[in-house]
Structures are given as structure tokens and as C-alpha cells.
Structure 1
């Protein structure tokens, strides 16, 4: 299928399948997989990704907020959805009516949610969040075990709340040095102790989960009866400590050459005149910029792939365009494909390399890819769908 080839994110659904199957093979049999699809499935497009993951055998989805939950529910998913963050209590009816589970992280919040659910005559399914050392949200089992236990018992007993799950989140499961490994063990012990104490009080949960992507890789024995697979589904390592898995990146970011010009030595390129050409240079303009999610911080230091060769970025990345040096690359014409990250004629420019250059993490770069960049989905080497926010359409292919 033809699509507007200005700039696009190419999403390989075969790679998604490969990564999902790796997770399935790694965790103990019968372990439920919560596929984390927050932030528009980490920038990959949540509705198409949830459709595919449901077909692959995901057991449930996890999102950040109610807007994301409603969006994937509207997209047709029938699987359970867990909101990992906060939802204002007044939306209790919306949660219940859309079969969305809500994280409960404090007595105050649980009470407000219970009262709202009672007024709206609904029962909200909930997962209890235990803070075992992340220091973010949850009942503080590491710092005040007895207090956390007392509060959780109180929340479970509140009317119109059905607490079907309990979970925690690891802070440094993606780091393998001795201190961090010990901290992960400490978190797991605090969480396990909490679950055991509740069971002794005759409070049990259908779903118990603590493994994020890094823990799935490094500590599958901590799985409980469910795991939350996030970044690994999209083919990226949780950190530089994880390189052993045969993950396949799902997203590639592509653009094209819009213009080619020869600039004499001494010319300056882009805003601020921060780049002065040291030689006569063939400059290609590429219609992608920071408004599309390509970091401005890679000005004068990033590279792209053109016909399988590296081309450095010249000057500042603009809002909608950037310039590259293609002097030493033969065969470049207007409409030649430019790869911002991904594979190009056998060469690879990874998201991890760009993240290192930008002093950030791979998560951030893929989540930054803007809505105006169409998502082009490929399966078995063929385009199966294109999602373009400006047309608000989803075009399925035969």
C-alpha cells in the first residue's frame, strides 16, 4: 500500500511476536503476561499493538491512566486492563462499566474510591500496590511493614472494592552489580512477606505480580503468577546490563531526502550558524525535526543511515527538518530513504546508540516519536495497516 512518505515509524509485527514468545518461554508455565501498552504502546500505536498481542496470547494489558485504558477498550480489546497510576475517584462508574481494574495505593485513595463506587452503585476491581522500595506510590512495606499491612487489610474490607490483585515494582532490577541485586532481593522479600502475612490473615489475591521487563530477564523465579512485560516486548533492552537476549527491535524511524545542494567550504548550516563546513559539502535536507520527536540535542553530533552508510547531522535540528552530509555517499537522490534508527541496507543504527549519545534511555526516544508521524505496520513483509493521526483512520490491508 502506498502512504505519504515524508517521515514514518515502521512497526514490524513479526518482531513483536518474536519478543512476546521469548517472554512466554522465559517465565514459568501458566504465568499470566500483562502486556504494558502505556504511552501509546511506548510510541508504537496502542490499538494495533493490543490487537496483535491479544492474538499472540497476552492475558491482560497494563496502562498508565484511564484515558489510555478507554482508548484500547474502544479499539476492541476484550482482555482485562489494569491502570498502574491514579484515576480520580469520581470515575468509579467508568472504571467498573468498562471492566478496568484500578491500582489502590493508599487508604485515603481507597476510601474515596469506595465511597464513589457506593454512590454510583458499582464495584471497582482493584490491585493493591505495595511500595517495597521504589519510593513512588504504594503501601510502605519496606519502611513501615506493620502499618502497611494494617492499611491494606482496611482497604480490602472496604465496600464496593474487589481487590483481585497485589503487586510491587522493582527500582533496580535492570542493574546487575552486587548492591543493586541485593536491593532487588530486599524488595522481593518485603513484597513476599506482605503477601504471606495477608494470606495468614485469610486475605488472598487472584493475581500476584512483581516482575517488570528486567526482572523477567534476570529473576523469572520472582514472577508470582503474573508478570508485566514492557520494553522487552518492543525489542529493546531494559538497560545496558542486558544484552544476552535475542530481542528484535519493533520500531524503525524513517524519512526521505527532500533536497540536495552543494555548499562551498566555509558555508554555515542551520539556525545559530553552529556548523561551519570544513570542505565543499553535499548537503541533503531531511523532513524530520524535533516536532516529530527527533531530539534537538543531537544537533551536530547525531548520525543517520543513507544507503547503508553513516551521514552526520550538520547544524541544529530544526522543528521540522534537519540537514546531513552525504558528500561521500554515492547515489543519493531526492526521495532516497533516510533511517534515523533501524536497519538500512544491512547497516544498523540502534535506539540504544542514540540514547547513549543523548544521555538518556531508549524508552524516552521511542516514546518521543510524535503523533504526526504515521505508524506503518508490517507483517510477513507486507504493510497491514497505516495509522495517521491527521486522518484519524486505521486502514486495514488485505
Structure 2
């Protein structure tokens, strides 16, 4: 490395100060939806600030990004500094020269300090992005909870309003049937009315589950046998699609205060959904475990998963991703209502490499 004159040193300080100013400007004006573009701009600023700027190349590797300038060398000599987000290392920034023309002595001490300062700024940017992302997630969850709450109130009102006329339809249809015994066609028509009224009453019952209006028969039970029985009842459905299912209940009994019939409904609905969306010869995993004072039930399938665009609507009544005629759209809303009334939560995440995992958490009271 050649000796640097006072004039060259001054030029280097100006380049470094200019770099810091430009980096700060990029971050101040950064749109959080275009953070990658901002990072590329910061990397370009770093290139210009180095002593041999015409050959300097920059690379950023982190848990979210892997960006390098176009001519980053295969066998570089480089300076590196850590990028930290909330005091945790998430990656690093490298500024490199190509070997063998350049070596470690070609880097200036001031450049090492500059890289450290830029890494601090990049860490601050990524921190702010993470805070913003978390705010958006929390806002969406609150909006979803508000929407489901309003739907619950409306649904409860509708269910109560429908209960009385349905009871009247059913009662008078039963009376009418006793009077038309000689007219075969009329008797068949009355049977259709009765069956339709019973079906409608079941829909109302499901709406009341969603609205948390159904009474509980709560008792402290070992939930393992209840879940095992519910899964065993679905054996014909598993065999029909040649689906392999694994039930993992652990070695110890797991006790929970729960309405056993409603818990069975939750398992039925979630497993039947998993069977419906699973490919032939697919695999479904049902796992029950106790963690941090919670009882967790997970049901994983290998189906197509859920489109991110519709993910927030899957627990709404009458919303279904199944073809018309194959689903009422009440399965998951019933599950949501039962779990909510037991003070629990249900979450969805993608299965890897494909499929869906529904996780139900019940507090162990």
C-alpha cells in the first residue's frame, strides 16, 4: 500500500462524511415497503467511500436479505462488520477487493470505523421496519377480532330470531303429518318440510356455537381417549383416500376442563377438513401436548394450504373455500366459537413443504 498524503487523507475523510450523510438521508426518506432498495442504495454509498472505490464491492447477508453488488469477487479480501437488530446479530456487511491485487493492508482504519457506523444505521433501519411490521400484524389481528366480534353479535341475534319460527314450522308440520295419512304425496311433502326444518335448526345451532351462545357441560377429563375416539370414528374417511394418520398423545394423561361433546366437534371438524384437502395417500398428523400451562392440539395435513388472501376470513360463518354444494362454511366458525367459549385460541400456519397446520391452545384452568 502506498503512503497516503495529507491531501489524500482529506479526500478520504470527505468521502466518508459524504457516505454517512447519504446513508442517513436514505434511511430518513425510506419507505418501509422498499427497504431492499434502500439497502442497495446504502451499499452503493459504501462503494464510493472506499479508497479504491472503482473496484470496491459490497455484500449484505442477514436473516432476511442476501444482496451483493454485481461484481462481488469469488475470492475476496474484505472488511466485515455485524448488523444487529435489538442487540441480536442478524447478519453482516462486507466491503471487498479482489485478490491477489489487493490485500488486508489496503483497508484504512477509518474505513473500519465507517463500516461499523453504517452497520449501526442499517440495524436501526431494520429495527424500525420490524416495529412497523409488528404494528401492522397487531392491527390486522385487532381488526379481525373486531370483525369476528361484530359477526358474533349479529349471528347470535339472527339465531335467536330464527329459533322460534323454526320450532313453529317443525311443530305444525308434525301435526299436519298426522292429518294427511291417506294422501301419500302430501305426507311426502310434509316429510320434506320437517327434514328442511331440522336441517335449518342444525344450521342455527352451529351459528350459536360460533356466537358462543351454546351452554357448556364442563368437566375435568383426560382428553386423550376423547380425541382418540373422535379420530377412530373417522377411520372410513381415512381409508377412502388411503390417508396415513399419526396420533401422538404423549405418554402421560392430559387433563382439561372441557365440554367433551364440543371438544369432539372441534376434532371432527378440523380432521375432516384435513382429510378433504389432503391428497390421496397423504399424511395427517394429530399431536396433543402440554406446554407452559396450555394444552396444545395440532392437526397438520399435506394439502394445498390456505391462500394468504383468504386467510383472515376462514373463521367467518358461511365462508368456504370448498366448491359450491360441498361445504356450508360453518365448520371452522363452529370450531372458532367453541374454542373462544373455552377461553382458548386457534391459529393457522403453513406446513412445510406444503399443507396446513391448525394449532388449538386451551388454557389449563
TM-score category, normalised to shorter length: under 0.3
Q: Greater helix share, 1 or 2?
A: 2
Q: Relative contact order: is structure 1 or structure 2 higher (C-alpha 8 Å, sep ≥ 6)?
A: 1
Normalized against structure 2, the TM-score is what? 0.23
Q: Greater strand share, 1 or 2?
A: 1
Normalized against structure 1, the TM-score is what? 0.21
**CA radius of gyration, larger in:** 2
